[in-house]
Structure 1
Amino acid sequence: MFLTEAEEMLEHHNTHTSNIVLIGDFNIQFDQPQNTDTRQTMDLLDCHDLKQHVDAPTRKTHIIDWIVTHESTDLVYDILLNDYLRSDHSAVLFSLKMAKPSKQKKRVVRRNLKEVNTDTFRAEAARRLLDPPVSSDPVRHYDSTLSTLLDEHAPAKTKLIIDRPSAPWITAEVKYAKQLRRRAERKSRTSKLVVDRQIYNKQKEHVQTLIADAKQSHYSTKICETTSAKTLFSTMNDLLGCSSASPLPNNIDPSKLSQAFSDYFHNKIQTIRDKLDKIPHQNSETPPAFTGTPFTHFQPLTLTDLEKVLKEMTLKTCDLDPLPTQLYSDCLPELLPSILKIINTSLQTGTVPNSFKTAIVKPLLKKPSLDPNTLSNYRPVSNLSFISKLLERVVLKQLNSHLLCNNLLSPLQSAYRPHHSTETALLKITNDLLLATDQAEISAVALLDLSAAFDTVDHNILLQRLRHTFGIHSTALSWFSSYLTDRYQTVSIDKLNSDPIRLECGVPQGSVLGPVLFTLYTQPLDHILDRHNDSQLHNSSSPDQSESLLSSISDTITDVQNWMTENKLQLNSNKTEAILIGTTSKLSKATSDSLQLSDSSVPLSSAVKNLGVTLDNTLSMKQHISSVSRTCYFQLRRIATIRKYLTTDATAKLVTSTILSRLDYCNSLLAGLPSSSISRLQRIQNSSARLVLRKKKRDHITPLLNQLHWLPVPARITYKINTLTYKCLHGLAPAYLSDSLSLYVPSRTLRSSADSLKLNIPHTKLKTAGQRSFSFQAPSQWNTLPLPLRQQQSLESFKSALKTFLFSK
């Protein structure tokens, strides 16, 4: 009863209160996690992102007096226990952090872009770019022309400002009303008359109403017009008064911080490379040579081709660009001929302009929970000029065409491929694991981590691989060689730049081509996995063969580690994880509790996180659901704090982007779970609907979901499974999923034989394993759909009809 009431109370406060402090005698022994009440209460707190802070006994030998706050806040500190009370309980004393941060002064460089006459600027840009000097570098002429023009129309000015929260919603009407309020306040204080006090109070209420209306109008309009998730989150942070910027160390002189980061990033890579050069290794087997039609040159673009590529991109500039984003967007039609000439010159000559090979690096904290004063907790993210990213995207389109036409990508490679995603990759893995569990087997899964993976890629090895394995030659290969060599990076923090550093290895993070080149660089690993009969470092066997199973995984990792050493990549053994997966009874028969590697022993985990999904050792998905719940309730509280400033449509958009997107991420993995597990996610959606429509917790939820046109969580899972099934049957899904389905062929002619779209449902043993696999769930759910629905001719028409069908059930 207590847990049920507590959960209802927390769900209510998640949509009404930004911060919670629960204190008192809970009469539950927090120090006894094996106790059923304690475990259930801890699960409840974890689900709602709550943390219990008292860590010493408060009565005899147990912790039963608790202080509970949201884990994502640091409200409580200096917790002390005192025995001066005449009680068998200790007094629990603590401090609450309530002080406002002090205002800081800082020097900024700004341009008043509002003064720029866009039409005049566009005309002048077109005129000056039309006839470049014959001997000039086209990129240098382009950059210098636009930079000079910008300085003429909006010169940069340095100002010393007080860093205070911005108020972009302030209107002229609000400013005037605040002036009247201050005037009324002064008169009231001077006259001491009741009538003047009443006038002041009335004007104060008027100002508050105007501010609330102005905030709602400004933020709701901005949210509804936003198409970028990043901009949407930034707007939300502005409303909440939170900084969107990544934290930075405060224990280093700000004027030296950029250079300190630059030295750290450079020395880290150099240390890894020096270490790898000293490790002995065996030469790995060379992958088969490319035998098809080589990729020798790039096709030049037309203006129409360039416009199509631009439509697929988000126009975003950085400090390397001559114009800010908004002005770039306004002038793009006048700039396109010059951009087209720069790109085609690069493609035809097989060279990349030097200015395109310079990156501005921003240090980004890897996780919010990490210490911001430790440099090793940051990763370098490269910011590149807009045209360089545009050029990379043009090259990538032609490279992908060559790779796909020649079937050069690994069948299990999901990154950067059409119709592939993290969800399809995880669905393939869990499908294999559930089917193995259904066959009374246990499975071993290993997750590997690389140190600075992108930054240690060897350029010579990569170029040799592009030529030998992927058939890239002549001008095309020269272009990639030019792209990789003579690259420089500068760390920039608050407009203070480090000295440029020449990069001898690596592909830039934050670039368009970098991730794809890294994927091609590591493709020979597939041959190692094939040789060991391991699929993405997981394999299965009977429980009594657990030692042999783990030994097989260990041998695979040894060969992988040898290959990585040879190819200048460092495996981070400290972050290697391993897990055995199966039913509880089968796992109890396993005789091993660790994975033995050549230089370390990796204890088996009870749960691992892979591509944002937490997989536990029985694939119950309970820990994943708890993690999703914790994150969603955190976002729900944030939106509840600013709900009064938002319209219904704006709130619905925020909830869809921050909460429903998390409920939908990889929800195909939840198919077949018991309703008791799914109900926890359904309660999140229910709370979200009540927040959007401002309804009470006792209001019936079905009409609210229908009003918002939101499918309930179970129906959303069904929608995802059937959509993936449709894609599998129409060549819109990875082969590794499509191959797990087959059309039903009856043994004799029946009335239902005319239904040629029915799928074969495989025989399974366990409801908790085989019947949860995609191989079972997909045909089972697909076959229940009406035939006209399954016969839809396009994916969009199928999705629309499917949603209508699910709402009608």
Structure 2
Amino acid sequence: MTLPSTLKPSPPLVSFHHNLRSLSPSRLSTAVSTSLPTLNVFSTLDVNTATDTLSSTLTTCLDNICPISSRPACTTPPSPWLSDDLREHQTDLRAAERRWWKSKDSADLGKYQFLLATFSDNFKSAKNSYYQNKINSTTDTRSLFRTFNTLLCPPPPPPDTSLTPDVFASFFTNKVTSISNTFSAPYSVKHLSPVCNSSVFMFSPLTDTEVSKLLLSNHPTTCSLDPIPSHLLQAISPSILPALTHLINTSLLTGTFPTTFKQARVTPLLKKPALNPTQIEYYRPVLSSHSWQKHLKGQFSIKSLPISHRTSCWMTISQALKVDTPPRLPCCLSLSR
């Protein structure tokens, strides 16, 4: 005697998204301009408070105008070569298959086999035509390599459900610790006296024009940690330029990196598609950081030093970096706090 199973079927996967196709950038820009504090109030905030205020305002305005909706998650990506005629043919094929399973008639079997052979030929022909047209029309080398990579290297199988985020975190932490332990303790080195007597310098503040150029020149790549997608941020940039300029200048002048930007998302990926996905040592961590970090990168002029000190200091920096450029310093030197 066997008891019936009491296990409940797993619920269907659901994905959440914003319907950005129906979103008007001008409406979002107006909402952000209205919700943000005035520049006089915003300029009194510290770096972390200003960053959180700007991020929460952008997220709230996007959620109010374009609420998050749910839909069943697609387990397999859609086939771009599957036209409406092929979908209709596929529907007829499934109906013929169900009809044959019920009747077990040889006539229904013959019709089902005929539809199956026809659909298979049309499907292969449509797929070949799609990739031929895509390869012939591609002029970018990167896009062409990506197309061949999808054909020659299929996506890896999903990882084992026993590999939880805590397991990955512990594995990668222990791996870093074991690698660090293999190095010997560093030798104590006496600090050399600096060549430059003056160590006072400051970055020249950025203008709205420079921040706008920096914002629009970056490729609109989006991370899941971003308050809004990067292409929307570029579209509404005029409404947030004063706040973003104050945020960048305050971060550079105070040497404080926003705490929000120190977070990152780590995704474990298989090193090779043919490896066993159940073995945790075959994974490598891939980090995706906040895309706003790009807006804090660049080079800014030194304008607080006299000409004599500026020249001597820059000669020392140029010799260390082995570059012959105007007196500029990488902004990452001030973001150590």
Identify whether the pair has TM-score above 0.5, normalized to the shorter chain.
yes
CA contact (8 A) 1:295 1:476 kept: no
Match of 2:53, SS? helix
Closer, same or farther in 2 for the Cα pair 1:345/1:203, shift >3 Å? same
Asked whether the equivalents of residues 339 and 387 of structure 1 are also in contact (C-alpha less than 8 Å), the reply is no
> Counterpart of 2:22?
115
How far 1:323 sits from its partner (Å)?
1.2
Q: Is the Cα contact below 8 Å between 1:346 and 1:353 reproduced in 2?
A: yes
Partner of residue 152, structure 1: 64
Contact residue 33 and residue 239 of structure 2 kept, 8 A:
yes
Distance in 2 of aligned mates of 1:220 and 1:127: 49
Structure 2 letter corresponding to 1:151: D
Q: What does 1:321-336 align with in structure 2 at a 5 Å threshold?
A: 321-336=226-241
1:526-545 equivalences under 5 Å are: none
CA shift for structure 1 position 143 = 0.8
Q: Which of 31, 36, 44 is residue 124 of structure 1 equivalent to?
A: 31
1:355 shift after superposition: 0.9
**How far apart in 2 are the matches of 1:127 and 1:378?**
46
Does the 8 A contact of 1:320 with 1:385 survive in 2?
yes
CA deviations 1:344-369 (Å, max 9, x no partner) are: 12122332222122222233556678
Which residue identity lines up with residue 345 of structure 1 in the other structure?
Answer: T
Deviation at 1:343, TM superposition (A): 0.6
Shift of 1:208: 6.1
CA distance in 2, matches of 1:316, 1:253: 31
Partner residue, 2:203: 298
1:359 and 1:341 map into 2 onto residues whose CA distance is 24
**Root-mean-square deviation over aligned CA pairs:** 4.9
Question: 2:78 matched to 1:166?
Answer: yes
Shift of 1:305: 2.0
Change in Cα spacing, 1:351 to 1:282, as seen in structure 2 (3 Å) is: closer
Structure 2 portions without partners, runs of 5+: 1-11, 303-309
- Answering whether residue 252 of structure 2 is matched by residue 347 of structure 1, we say yes
Name the CA distance, whole Å, in 2 between partners of 1:169 and 1:324.
28
Amino acid at match of 2:257: V
CA distance in 2 between counterparts of 1:241 and 1:155 reads 37
Cα distance in 1 between the residues matched to 2:129 and 2:196: 67
Conserved? CA contact 2:318–2:324, under 8 Å: no
Shift of 1:299: 1.3
Distance 1:202 1:371 in 2: 35
Equivalents in 1 of 2:276, 2:313: separation in Å?
43
Deviation at 1:286, TM superposition (A): 4.2
| CA distance in structure 2 between the aligned counterparts of 1:308 and 1:283, rounded to whole angstroms | 45
Residue 315 (structure 2) aligns with: 406
- Asked whether the equivalents of residues 295 and 402 of structure 1 are also in contact (C-alpha less than 8 Å), the reply is no
Question: What residue in structure 2 maps to residue 138 of structure 1?
Answer: 50
Partner SS for 2:268: strand
Checking the alignment, whether the CA contact within 8 Å between 1:299 and 1:347 is kept in structure 2 is no
Is the Cα contact below 8 Å between 2:257 and 2:336 reproduced in 1? Answer: no
The one-letter code of the counterpart of 1:139 is T
Is 1:315 aligned with 2:201?
no
The answer on whether the counterparts of 1:122 and 1:334 sit within 8 Å (CA) in structure 2 is yes
Partner of 1:70: none
Structure 1 pair 156–297 and aligned structure 2 pair: CA distance change class (3 A): same
Tell whether 2:246 aligns with 1:337: no
Matching residue's letter, 2:335: F
Matches within 5 A, 1:168-317: 168-170=80-82, 174-176=83-85, 178-179=87-88, 183=92, 212-214=128-130, 216=132, 223-224=138-139, 229=142, 233-239=145-151, 242-243=154-155, 250=160, 253-254=162-163, 257-270=164-177, 282-284=187-189, 286-287=191-192, 289-291=194-196, 294=199, 296-310=201-215, 313-317=218-222
Q: CA deviation at 1:298?
A: 1.3
Amino acid at match of 1:481: S
Q: 1:145 to 1:248 in 2, by over 3 A?
A: same
Do 2:204 and 2:300's aligned partners in 1 also have CA atoms closer than 8 Å? no
Counting only pairs closer than 5 Å after superposition, residues 518-597 of structure 1 correspond to structure 2 as none
* SS of residue paired to 1:481: coil
Once the two structures are superposed, the pairs formed by residues 722-741 of structure 1 within 5 Å of their partners are none
Secondary structure at 1:361's aligned position in 2?
strand
Shift of residue 158, structure 1, vs aligned partner = 4.5
Aligned residue in 2 for 1:480: 335
- 2:272 and 2:313 map into 1 onto residues whose CA distance is 35
Per-residue CA deviation, residues 789-808 of structure 1 (Å, 9 max, x unaligned), is: xxxxxxxxxxxxxxxxxxxx
* TM superposition score normalised by structure 2: 0.65
Q: Which residue of 1 aligns with 2:4?
A: none
Structure 2 distance, partners of 1:410, 1:286, is: 19
User: Which fold has the larger relative contact order, with Cα–Cα distance below 8 Å and residues 6 or more apart in sequence?
Assistant: 2
SS at match of 1:406: helix
Which letter maps to 2:62?
L
Q: Specify the code of the residue in structure 2 equivalent to 1:179.
A: E
Measured after TM superposition, the shift of residue 162 of structure 1 is 4.9
Q: What are the Cα deviations for residues 86-108 of structure 1, in whole angstroms up to 9, with x where unaligned?
A: xxxxxxxxxxxxxxxxxxx7553
For the residues of structure 1 that align with 2:116 and 2:206, how far apart are their CA atoms? 67
291 and 322 in structure 1: CA distance in 2 versus 1, 3 angstrom threshold? same
User: How many aligned positions are there?
Assistant: 299
